[in-house]
Structure 1
Amino acid sequence: MWTEEERREEWQVLFDQLSTLTGIPWYWFAAINQYERTINQVHRSRKPLNDQLINIYISEARWSGALNPDQQDTDPLSIRFFQGIGLDGDHDGRADRTNPIDVLYTVADHLLRYGTTERKLKAALWEFYHNPRSVQRIEQFAKMYQAFGTLDLTKRAFPIPLRSNYSYRSTWGAPRGWGGRRIHEGTDIFADHGTPVRSTCYGMIEVMGWNRYGGWRIGIRDINNVYHYFAHLSGFNQELEEGSLVEPGQTIGWVGSSGYGKPGTSGKFPPHLHYGMYRDHGLAEWSFDPYPYLKRWEQEERRNKK
């Protein structure tokens, strides 16, 4: 089995080699692989290949050709005859969908049919996925990898400075009444008005502005395709905007009590940060309990400060 560090090292070698060969920046290959990895984690029917070294999933029918009587076919000539897309990337005479080099080479060939500019790569991704959400996520991931220059974007931070006066408990799933019957999709962290709110991850700001439930809120997409939702803020870091990249521990706003009404509404509840997490499965998103993650990040940060 691969460790995460070993995977990242192997990925970087493969992505760099393919980038040199094709002229496509390495971070696009990294972004496609990472997007596929996040989708494979929630779609159990997409069986992991290559001991999860390369996570790009191409179905047997697409690889070998829908009319190919041998769906395990690895003969490049036969696959081409049946209009499959599988290619022999390492020149061993076999087009094997469990071979990471063959898979990456096949994806690279598809991209090169359109070109190497960002606009053309996005067009190629649209033809590959036929899903605008997939194209958006891969573009976001590519920009993260490009900006931070590393595949290791796993660091996390607690959203409130540990020196602050704060408290929280597990409230995910509790009923909420304002605006109609609904459940609480997050954890409330009570803190003094104006306490800094920090990004919990490396990510891209996807949404920033007013929401009648969350007041002034920010939504950040991380490299694991998780959406981090920060609500009821009293204000934003004015250096940030939608599309900005952030790092763990970076101040993005301040605790407030905004929300439950038209823009500017505030004071209907005690100051606190509502923090939520949502996972993307390719077509939609759903919330999950952030409390265990908050406890882990809080404990890790306390240990690291000792």
Structure 2
Amino acid sequence: MLVVLINVYLGIYIDSEVLKKNCFPYETAFENFRDEEVSEEVINSFLYDSEPMEESDITEQKIKSVKYADFAKLSEYLAMYFALNNTCSDSDLLEENISFVKEHQPEKFERIQSKIEAMWTDAVLFPVGAIENEPGATVDFANSWRQSRTFGGDRFHEGCDIMASVNQRGIYPIYSVSDGVVENIGWLRLGGYRIGIRSRHGAYFYYAHLSDYAKDFQIGEEVKAGTLIGFMGDTGYSDTPGTTGNFPVHLHFGVYFDDESGKEFSVNPFPLLRYLKSL
């Protein structure tokens, strides 16, 4: 009888240790984080009002309609939501899982949660502005993440294309969505005239196919959210700098992070853009 009880308790102990070890499936969370297949309803259910920041802490631009929200809480919910394979959006159940994971797998959880928080906290406005004297000019975008692309070889689309209703280069202003530092600028074969800005918490925001830049930005230069960085265009798909006309005028917007080994990976920016456009 004693042997049976020992075996029962040993089995419970082993099961408990296995549960603790596997309570946060990092690979599942990582892939779902990259894909960001999360509805507007789920995002809104995870957000709630918080004390507003001073306007001067955000930008000198007219960002008066920002919906201040608890992005730290959002990032925790999303990290757990992704780990559960996008199957649970009940905040009470997520809270229970988060508490357990923080106790037993805090490092794995933080690796995902911190990146989600950086992406959602640092971006405070939609990247495309209105055109003066063109009230009918609009933009549209859809979830084009992972769609097939063939120029330069078969690959998948690593961002979101914001399309112009007026197919004219150089008239739609493009603004930095975040505070940050210019990390890359200049011509790319695929992206044309592009600029990459690293935000304060590590998100890399990528703006491609610009017609031109607003000024002569330098690598290492600091910018604020709302800084005019250039104008929407149709540059790229060529080794020759300045090439235009290979596709309609649009902004390719991307979000990237570096993993623990320093390797860059992309994240679907569509849910973030959808939220920013609603502000």
Q: Does 1:171 align with 2:134?
A: no
User: Residue 163 of structure 2: which of 179, 187, 190 is its match?
Assistant: 190
The TM-score with structure 2 as length reference comes to 0.53
User: Residue 267 of structure 2: which of 270, 274, 288 is its match?
Assistant: 288
Please give the secondary structure, in 1, of the residue aligned with 2:237.
coil
Q: Does 1:276 align with 2:236?
A: no
Note the C-alpha offset of 1:223.
1.6
Q: Does 1:156 align with 2:129?
A: no
Distance in 1 of aligned mates of 2:225 and 2:277: 13
Distance in 2 of aligned mates of 1:209 and 1:46: 41
Distance in 2 of aligned mates of 1:206 and 1:288: 18
Note the C-alpha offset of 1:46.
7.1
Map of 2:225 onto structure 1: 248
User: Residue 265 of structure 1: which of 228, 243, 255 is its match?
Assistant: 243
User: Residue 195 of structure 2: which of 196, 207, 218 is its match?
Assistant: 218
Q: Which amino acid aligns with 1:278?
A: Y
Percent identity between matched residues is 38
Q: Does 1:231 align with 2:204?
A: no
- Give the alignment of 1:6-17 within 5 angstroms: none
Please give the secondary structure, in 2, of the residue aligned with 1:293.
helix
Map of 2:25 onto structure 1: none
Q: Which amino acid aligns with 2:181?
A: M
2:182–2:195 contact (8 Å) kept in structure 1: yes
Note the C-alpha offset of 1:162.
4.8
Distance in 2 of aligned mates of 1:154 and 1:225: 9
Distance in 2 of aligned mates of 1:177 and 1:240: 31
Distance in 1 of aligned mates of 2:219 and 2:125: 21
Note the C-alpha offset of 1:155.
5.6
Where does structure 2 lack aligned partners over 5 or more consecutive residues? 1-49, 54-78, 84-101, 111-120, 132-136
Note the C-alpha offset of 1:210.
0.3
Call closer, same or farther: CA 1:213–1:154 in 2, change over 3 Å. closer
Note the C-alpha offset of 1:242.
1.3
2:122–2:199 contact (8 Å) kept in structure 1: no
Deviates more, 1:275-284 or 1:170-179: 275-284
User: Residue 277 of structure 2: which of 298, 301, 304 is its match?
Assistant: 298
Call closer, same or farther: CA 1:46–1:254 in 2, change over 3 Å. farther
Name segments (4+ residues, structure 1) moved above 3 Å.
none
Map of 1:108 onto structure 2: none
Q: Which amino acid aligns with 1:198?
A: Y
Cα RMSD, aligned residues only: 3.3
Call closer, same or farther: CA 1:280–1:174 in 2, change over 3 Å. same
Q: Which amino acid aligns with 1:157?
A: L
Distance in 1 of aligned mates of 2:216 and 2:194: 15
Distance in 1 of aligned mates of 2:190 and 2:142: 20
2:196–2:206 contact (8 Å) kept in structure 1: yes
2:163–2:249 contact (8 Å) kept in structure 1: yes
Q: Does 1:201 align with 2:174?
A: no
2:141–2:162 contact (8 Å) kept in structure 1: yes
Which whole-Å deviations, capped at 9, do the CAs of 1:45-88 have from their partners, x for residues lacking one? 9735xxx9xxxxxxxxxxxxxxxxxxxxxxxxxxxxxxxxxxxx
Please give the secondary structure, in 1, of the residue aligned with 2:106.
coil
Give aligned pairs, total.
166
Please give the secondary structure, in 1, of the residue aligned with 2:209.
strand
2:130–2:173 contact (8 Å) kept in structure 1: no
Note the C-alpha offset of 1:250.
1.2
Distance in 1 of aligned mates of 2:123 and 2:266: 21
